[in-house]
């Protein structure tokens, strides 16, 4: 080896101070040697005597190769040959990768076997950093084996000894790093990383995404990119966005040439503050920048391109256009997905709902919802909650008025939407407080009717029609399906029922895709098996009648006075609840639920009033 030995300091120790890029250089050498298997062994069982062994099954080196190529610093191999004998594009170029090992260690032992005209010859030599530094301009590494015939397989083994690093080896981290530096790992080129006695890790391209959940993918070249860049069809690869921000050391686009990294992940001059960048990573192949062996566009450490040249500036501008296109589409895709998730979680078809509103409310709702769907920081679950809340509250005029005030601005900041929801919490609590106060009187009347054992027809029937929230607090308006009630009465005449029970009545109502049959008994009536059997017949009858009309579920309720302790009745209630969707409620349960439900609103508002100083009579 003839060279100013200070070059080892500049091109080895100074440029390669960490393990992953050193391993990467040796992997590239194995690729160029037409190896299809590489095994990297990391041994630190003895922290004071660490060792790394890299073994490949490539073509190996002859004594002449060692002297004329390997031991020559700075030799551009591509000036002689641009591809290997198997057709691989050669990665190595500058002839300095071999010095990378001295960035982490002081001694290198290389054993290599090559087939020369049918005879396999073995060579082994040792490189010592201290000896090299004191040898002057010429260094002659000692050969332990020289041109020895052997029956061993071809290939090269490199032992890195006297390692200076103190921290333990992390094989998974190295494997992931390699997966991000190369696009060459497949069935024709396999690399394993083994640490001490642990199971080896096979390096695959999928390791790039370790711990990352990919959401959207863009393939290049793409016809969607409007550009006259001359090499746009030669920029090939994929850009990905994840569901969550990617690790800091993965944000941006990696550039690959001849299968190996030539520029670390970057956004190429686009402002890094763009929120979308936190989710974006990708690998683009730009082989054309490294095809001319006489023109070098890559920095010495192969970590970045030299952007000063005009051709590189054009590439940079094109990459900026690609990234801008991806971030724009990412926002659109996220919005569409968010809208889909909202519908899936809440059942709300946003366009359909907005179109159903009046002409005044429609633009207010559209702008409010769009601000949530378009927000980059509001995740899908939170967006579903917020939109469901707005959907429910939009029936209140006071809420619509408050929403109209904030949508007057050209853009709605997320903070304004959140403030609206917080403000409405107080307003809603006050409105429900007032409503609950009024309803308490109705609840007292309901209690009185129960005590008096009021008749189901017409007394309880009309009372429930007027105050349907007693059956279910969600029912604000009772749209009685008279046609179906009449059908039940026609098909189940009172003549078929015992005299004491002949005054039966049905309330039929549709609510949120569910058809309810509510059979009312008198408040002092004790439930019997016969009542449950009748309810089953009512439900089956209605289900068959509406089966051709819609996909609605049919649920039956029997409202009665008491439920006996009879095991037969109790078991039948449980069976019908699970299989037939028939439920039994007592008047006392309805009464207590109504009291609890409305007392919750009264107590909630009293607490909010204490916090905010809100006056219950205001607004």
Helix (H, G, I), strand (E, B) or coil at 553: strand
Radius of gyration over every alpha carbon of the chain, rounded to an integer in angstroms: 39
Q: Would you state the pLDDT for residue 421?
A: 74
Q: Would you state the pLDDT for residue 303?
A: 73
What is the rounded CA–CA span in Å between residue 349 and residue 343? 6
Cα-flanking dihedrals φ and ψ of residue 420, to 5°?
-60, -45
Q: What one-character DSSP code corresponds to residue 2?
A: B
Query: Would you state the structure tokens that stand for residue 558, as one six-digit string?
Result: 């029997």
Is the separation of the CB atoms in 56 and 208 below 8 Å? Answer: no
Helix (H, G, I), strand (E, B) or coil at 15: coil
Q: Would you state the pLDDT for residue 323?
A: 96
The CA–CA distances, whole Å, from 296 to 95, 97, 195, 262 equal 13, 16, 37, 11
**Which residue from 201, 183, 184, 181 is spatially nearest to 193, judged by alpha carbons?**
201
**Which residue from 298, 73, 77, 38 is spatially nearest to 193, judged by alpha carbons?**
38
Q: Would you state the pLDDT for residue 434?
A: 76
Q: Would you state the pLDDT for residue 617?
A: 45
Is the separation of the CB atoms in 527 and 519 below 8 Å? Answer: no
CATH of domain 6-205: 3.30.565.10
- The enclosing H or E element of 286 equals none
What is the rounded CA–CA span in Å between residue 539 and residue 372? 42
What is the rounded CA–CA span in Å between residue 98 and residue 7? 12
Q: Would you state the pLDDT for residue 351?
A: 92
Q: Would you state the pLDDT for residue 4?
A: 56
What is the rounded CA–CA span in Å between residue 85 and residue 431? 82
Helix (H, G, I), strand (E, B) or coil at 318: helix
Tell me the pLDDT tens digit for each residue of 321-370.
Answer: 999 999 999 999 999 999 999 998 888 999 999 999 999 899 989 988 98
**Which residue from 243, 237, 267 is spatially nearest to 253, judged by alpha carbons?**
267
Helix (H, G, I), strand (E, B) or coil at 453: coil
Query: Would you state the structure tokens that stand for residue 293, as one six-digit string?
Result: 């062996």
**Which residue from 575, 533, 570, 540 is spatially nearest to 555, judged by alpha carbons?**
540
What is the rounded CA–CA span in Å between residue 77 and residue 203? 27
The CA–CA distances, whole Å, from 86 to 32, 291, 329, 368 equal 10, 18, 41, 61
Q: Would you state the pLDDT for residue 92?
A: 84
For 276, half-sphere exposure in the C-beta direction (CA atoms, 13 angstrom radius) is 22
What is the rounded CA–CA span in Å between residue 10 and residue 73? 12
Q: What one-character DSSP code corresponds to residue 395?
A: T
Q: Would you state the pLDDT for residue 499?
A: 46
Q: Would you state the pLDDT for residue 300?
A: 63
- 190 - beta bridge partners? 37
**Contacts of 473 by beta carbon, 8 Å cutoff, 6+ apart:** 593, 594, 597
- The enclosing H or E element of 520 equals strand 514-520
Q: Would you state the pLDDT for residue 26?
A: 95
What is the rounded CA–CA span in Å between residue 170 and residue 157? 21
Q: Where are the domains of the chain?
A: 6-205, 214-316, 334-433, 436-598
Q: Which residue bears the tokens 């009464």?
A: 591
Q: What one-character DSSP code corresponds to residue 577?
A: I
Q: Would you state the pLDDT for residue 461?
A: 81
What is the rounded CA–CA span in Å between residue 8 and residue 15? 10
- pTM assigned to the model: 0.68
What is the rounded CA–CA span in Å between residue 335 and residue 553? 32
Cα-flanking dihedrals φ and ψ of residue 565, to 5°?
-80, 5
Low-confidence ranges of the chain (pLDDT < 70): 1-15, 74, 94-95, 272-273, 300-302, 409-414, 425-428, 431, 473-481, 493-505, 511-513, 547-551, 604-605, 608-619
**Which residue from 33, 49, 66, 214 is spatially nearest to 144, judged by alpha carbons?**
66
Q: What one-character DSSP code corresponds to residue 100?
A: G
Helix (H, G, I), strand (E, B) or coil at 255: strand
What is the rounded CA–CA span in Å between residue 34 and residue 30? 7
Helix (H, G, I), strand (E, B) or coil at 547: coil
């Amino acid at each position: 080896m003839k060279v100013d030995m200070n070059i080892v300091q500049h091109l080895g120790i100074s440029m390669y101070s960490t393990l992953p890029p050193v391993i990467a250089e040796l992997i590239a050498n194995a690729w160029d040697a037409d190896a299809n298997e590489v095994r990297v062994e990391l041994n630190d069982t003895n922290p004071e005597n660490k060792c790394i062994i890299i073994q490949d099954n490539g073509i190996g080196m002859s004594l002449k190769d060692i002297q004329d190529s390997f031991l020559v610093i700075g030799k551009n191999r591509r000036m002689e040959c641009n591809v290997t004998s198997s057709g691989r594009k050669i990665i190595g170029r500058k002839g300095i990768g071999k010095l990378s090992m001295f960035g982490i260690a002081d001694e290198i032992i290389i054993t290599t076997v090559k087939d020369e005209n049918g005879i396999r010859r073995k060579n082994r030599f040792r490189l010592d950093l201290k000896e090299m530094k004191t040898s002057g301009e010429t260094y002659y590494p000692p050969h332990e084996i020289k041109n020895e015939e052997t029956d061993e397989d071809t290939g090269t083994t490199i032992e890195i000894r006297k390692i200076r690093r103190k921290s333990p080896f992390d094989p998974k981290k190295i494997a992931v790093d390699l997966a991000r530096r190369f696009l060459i790992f497949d069935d024709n080129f396999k690399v394993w990383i083994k640490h001490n006695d642990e199971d080896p890790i096979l390096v695959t391209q999928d390791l790039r995404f370790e711990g990352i959940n990919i959401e959207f993918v863009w393939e290049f070249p793409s016809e969607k990119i409007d550009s006259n860049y001359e090499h746009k069809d030669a920029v090939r690869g994929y850009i990905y966005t994840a569901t969550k921000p990617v690790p800091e050391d993965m944000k941006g686009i990696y550039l690959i040439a001849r299968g190996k990294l030539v520029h670390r992940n970057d956004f190429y001059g686009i402002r890094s503050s763009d929120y979308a960048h936190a989710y974006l990573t990708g690998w683009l192949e730009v082989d054309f920048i490294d095809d001319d062996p006489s023109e070098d566009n890559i920095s010495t450490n192969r970590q970045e391109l030299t952007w000063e040249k005009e051709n590189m500036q054009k590439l940079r501008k094109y990459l900026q256009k690609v990234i801008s296109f991806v971030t724009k589409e990412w926002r659109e895709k996220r919005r569409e997905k968010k809208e889909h998730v909202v519908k899936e979680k809440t059942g709300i078809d946003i366009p359909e709902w907005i179109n159903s509103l009046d002409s005044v409310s429609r633009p207010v709702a559209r702008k409010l919802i769009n601000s949530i769907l378009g927000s980059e920081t509001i995740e899908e679950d939170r967006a579903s909650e917020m939109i469901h809340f707005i959907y429910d509250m939009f029936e209140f005029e006071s809420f619509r008025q408050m929403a109209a005030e904030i949508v007057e601005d050209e853009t709605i900041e997320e903070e304004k939407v959140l403030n609206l929801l917080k403000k409405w919490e107080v307003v809603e609590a006050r409105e429900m407080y007032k409503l609950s106060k009024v309803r308490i009187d109705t609840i007292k009347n309901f209690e009185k009717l129960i005590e008096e054992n009021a008749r189901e027809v017409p007394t309880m029937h009309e009372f429930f029609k007027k105050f349907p929230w007693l059956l279910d607090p969600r029912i604000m308006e009772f749209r009685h399906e008279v046609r179906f009630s009449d059908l039940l009465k026609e098909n189940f005449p009172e003549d078929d029922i015992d005299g004491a029970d002949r005054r039966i009545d049905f309330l039929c109502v549709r609510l949120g895709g569910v058809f309810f049959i509510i059979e009312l008994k008198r408040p002092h009536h004790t439930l019997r098996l016969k009542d449950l059997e009748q309810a089953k017949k009512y439900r089956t009858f209605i289900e068959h009648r509406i089966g051709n009309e819609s996909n609605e579920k049919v649920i039956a309720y029997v409202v009665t006075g008491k439920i006996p302790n009879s095991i037969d009745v109790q078991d039948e209630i449980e069976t019908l609840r699970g299989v037939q969707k028939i439920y039994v409620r007592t008047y006392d349960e309805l009464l207590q639920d109504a009291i609890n439900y409305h007392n919750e609103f009264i107590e909630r508002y009293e607490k909010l009033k204490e916090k905010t100083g809100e006056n219950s009579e205001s607004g």
